[in-house]
Chains A and B, each alone.
Chain A
Amino acid sequence: MSTRSRRDTRDFWLFVGPLLLGLIIFSYVPIGWSLYLSFFDARNTVTPEVFVGVGNYTAMLTNEAFLSSLVTFSAFAVGIVPLTYVAALALALAVDRVKFAKAFFRSVFFLPFACSYVVAALIWKTSLFSGVNYGLVNSVLGAFGIDPVAWTGTADPPLYWIVLITARLWLQLGFYMLLFIAALQRIPDRLYEAAWLDGAKPGWQVFRYITLPQLRGTSVAVLLLLLINAFQAFDEFYNILGDARGYPPYGRPPLVYLYYTALGSGGQDLGRGSAGAVILSVLIAVVTLVQGKVLGFGKGRDR
């Protein structure tokens, strides 16, 4: 071992060591501990003694509430993912096209990125879609002689989806629009020139045969980001549907369910909460690995 390489080794650990140590303590240890807890009866304790094998897992996988949280996520994803994708792409094309005030429009659509989910939930719940007659939407409906609608108060019809989906759409649309704008700017002009020479009609044909295929990498990345982010939805659900009386039995996505199981006021069942966390982690990891297969891991750039 030469002094040179010994110095390199020392420098490497000097630069990378602190981060790696933190990652091990705050990422690997919790996941390992979670695995351990998930095989024990760990109600209200983090040092359990009763080994229950896969009991927590079978309990979770046959638990009505846990399974319905996955159904809730699926319903949410079916609403929010395609809607955000199409709207973000359409906005990106529109903003890319306008001749005047391009920066202004881009800023306006991106501005909600500065707003937290809690603040958006507050606006949506108590002002925009407030169930009483002074809410903005109900005021507009009232002007047409329609009675106030209880937007978040009923499980059937599930109108709360309109509130939840529009809130998230408003919050995240600008972010994804920016990703598409950046991708559009990377498409070389000569492709458009070639299409024009080949007699492709500007508009739909060019979009269909040039723009869309060129955006393939970004599209896949955006769809997966949308899906993974929807899977982790918590803030707006907790703040829009929950109140002083607690959280209604409907509309609980996985993380809300997990929060009430592991840390809710009804006793802390860390064993089942951990088993739930492990199941959800595996689901996410599978989706991410599929993304890696499709895109090449960590290189989600358009080539």
Chain B
Amino acid sequence: MAAALFLLPFYLLIRNGLATREEITSPQWTFLPADLHWENVAALFVDTEVPFARSLLNSAMVAVLQTGGELLLCSAAGYGLARIPYRHSGKVLGVVVATLLVPTSVTFVPSFVLVSSLGWLSDLRGLVVPGLFSALNTVLFRQFFLDFPSELEDAGRIDGLGRWGVFRRIVLPNSTGFLAAIAAITFIGSWNSFLWPLVIAQDSSSWTVQVALSGLLTAQNPQLNLLFAAAAISILPIVLLFVGLQRYLVRGVTETGVNG
């Protein structure tokens, strides 16, 4: 019963996305449109008034670059903090952890000022770079690597690998489950984020898909059937990812949630 209620919004999304405008706004409720109007989907890629296809591409680029960059930066830093003996390691960790006190969304005004003075407005760099440096993921990686069996690393040392070699060839390949968990969470968060792209992507050519949808939604008299078709397409990649990587997602949620 509750499960059916939970699926209801997805049903509405698909029903409205494949209906005509008149069917959606008819006072007579229909459970399914008389015909499935796949041309709604086609119209989205033909209509150049809203750069929908472009916004999908932008979102994909931002999410891929952000996830890849964040994994590399945060896993390396987490490993360094966990494993490399250094006098000021504790102080550095403190500097990282301190940023957890203030969520980035609250400081979007000064971050906007910084990004605009770098000349990164409406630019892929402005969308991707500020989000790469996640203190939370660094702390999570550090905790994970603290529990990593050091025998494996020792074996690599004996084989003459340097520190970077051990990290790249032994530690990372043996951490794929954890990496996938963090990657899945990061990718979804990046794809679905709205406030930062809204502030940064001021030209429609740099819009992400969420900003494009919001622009359509808050316009005068939106074309509902196209809007719903666009929304359905926008969640498709994430739903596929969800189905494929659910095991890792669940792990990612429990790792980040309890520590978040």
Residues of A with Cβ closer than 8 Å to B?
A: 5, 8-9, 11-12, 14-16, 18-20, 22-31, 33-34, 37, 46, 91, 104-128, 132-134, 136, 139, 142, 170, 175-176, 178-179, 182, 218, 221, 225, 228, 232, 234-235, 238-239, 242-244, 255, 258-259, 262-263, 270, 273-274, 276-277, 280-281, 284-285, 288-289, 297-298, 300-301
- Pick from A20, A114, A127: contact of B235, CB below 8 A: A114
Within the complex, what minimum Cβ distance (angstroms) separates B71 from chain A? Answer: 12
Q: Is the CB–CB distance between A234 and B105 below 8 Å?
A: yes
List the A residue with the shortest CB-CB distance to B143.
A298
**Contact A117:B192 (CB < 8 A) given known A15-B84, A123-B9, A238-B214:** yes
Q: Is the interface of A mostly helix, strand, loop or mixed?
A: helix
**Contact A128:B9 (CB < 8 A) given known A33-B113, A228-B103:** yes
Q: Is the CB–CB distance between B259 and A300 below 8 Å?
A: yes
List the B residue with the shortest CB-CB distance to A178.
B253
Alpha-carbon distance A136/B117, docked complex (angstroms): 47
Within the complex, what minimum Cβ distance (angstroms) separates A14 from chain B? Answer: 7
Q: Please, which residues of chain A bring their CB within 8 A of the CB of B85?
A: 5, 8
- Pick from A108, A118, A232: contact of B210, CB below 8 A: A118
**Contact A175:B73 (CB < 8 A) given known A108-B6, A111-B242:** no
**Contact A120:B9 (CB < 8 A) given known A134-B29, A234-B194:** yes
Alpha-carbon distance A285/B107, docked complex (angstroms): 12
Q: Is the CB–CB distance between A19 and B235 below 8 Å?
A: no
Query: B236-254 CB contact bits vs A (8 Å, 1 = yes)?
Result: 0011011000100110011
A-B contact pairs, 19 of them (CB 8 A): A12-B84, A15-B77, A22-B129, A23-B95, A27-B102, A108-B6, A109-B6, A113-B249, A116-B194, A119-B231, A120-B9, A125-B217, A126-B217, A170-B6, A218-B258, A238-B198, A238-B214, A262-B109, A289-B101
Within the complex, what minimum Cβ distance (angstroms) separates B19 from chain A? Answer: 11
Within the complex, what minimum Cβ distance (angstroms) separates B254 from chain A? Answer: 4
**Contact A23:B106 (CB < 8 A) given known A123-B231, A182-B254:** no
Within the complex, what minimum Cβ distance (angstroms) separates B138 from chain A? Answer: 6
**Contact A14:B164 (CB < 8 A) given known A113-B188, A119-B235, A277-B110:** yes
Q: Is the CB–CB distance between B27 and A134 below 8 Å?
A: yes
The yes or no answer to B40 lying at the interface (CB within 8 A) is no
List the A residue with the shortest CB-CB distance to B252.
A178
Alpha-carbon distance A83/B101, docked complex (angstroms): 25
- Pick from A12, A118, A126: contact of B224, CB below 8 A: A126
Query: B117-135 CB contact bits vs A (8 Å, 1 = yes)?
Result: 1000000000001101101
List the A residue with the shortest CB-CB distance to B82.
A15
**Contact A175:B130 (CB < 8 A) given known A116-B234, A242-B218, A244-B218:** no
Closest CB pairs A-B (n = 9):
A15-B80, A22-B133, A116-B192, A34-B110, A30-B110, A19-B77, A12-B86, A16-B80, A182-B254
Q: Please, which residues of chain B bring their CB within 8 A of the CB of A33?
A: 110, 113-114
Q: Please, which residues of chain B bring their CB within 8 A of the CB of A91?
A: 2
Q: Is the CB–CB distance between A30 and B241 below 8 Å?
A: no
Q: Please, which residues of chain B bring their CB within 8 A of the CB of A178?
A: 250, 253-254, 257
Alpha-carbon distance A119/B198, docked complex (angstroms): 15
Q: Please, which residues of chain B bring their CB within 8 A of the CB of A243?
A: 217-218
